[in-house]
Amino acid sequence: GIQVEQSPPDLILQEGANSTLRCNFSDSVNNLQWFHQNPWGQLINLFYIPSGTKQNGRLSATTVATERYSLLYISSSQTTDSGVYFCVVPFGNEKLTFGTGTRLTIIP
């Protein structure tokens, strides 16, 4: 099956800092989502981004499908950004393969 690797695995930042999270995947995809799992376990949709660039407030994402990677940018981070960020791609029938996740901790 498709492999999804995320980096870095852990990231600790001061409030206000910017960060870039990376997702590499092993095969071509027609669907890619970024999720934020908050400390209460809820999975929150951030972006549906099979290709191109999207922005939503302080967050933006870019997927370069031909090179099999996606980047999530978080600017001016806040403590509420803490949690685990998952890059997710489908395999067969749109079942999702979750990446290993990046655990982000924002320190006030």
Partner 1 sequence: GAGVSQSPSNKVTEKGKDVELRCDPISGHTALYWYRQSLGQGLEFLIYFQGNSAPDKSGLPSDRFSAERTGGSVSTLTIQRTQQEDSAVYLCASSRSREQFFGPGTRLTVL
Applying CB under 8 A, which of residues 8, 20, 48, 53 lies at the interface with partner 1? 48
Applying CB under 8 A, which of residues 11, 101, 102, 104 lies at the interface with partner 1? 101
Q: Answer yes or no whether residue 31 interacts with partner 1 by CB under 8 A.
A: yes
Residue in 45, 30, 52, 58 with CA at minimum distance from that of residue 85:
45
Transcribe 18-50 into DSSP letters. Answer: -EEEEEEESS--S--EEEEE-TT--EEEEEE-S
Applying CB under 8 A, which of residues 3, 28, 30, 55 lies at the interface with partner 1? 30
Size of the site for partner 1 (CB under 8 A): 22
Applying CB under 8 A, which of residues 14, 57, 66, 94 lies at the interface with partner 1? 94
Q: Answer yes or no whether residue 33 interacts with partner 1 by CB under 8 A.
A: yes
Q: Are 17 and 105 in contact (CB under 8 A)?
A: no
SS3 state of residue 103: strand
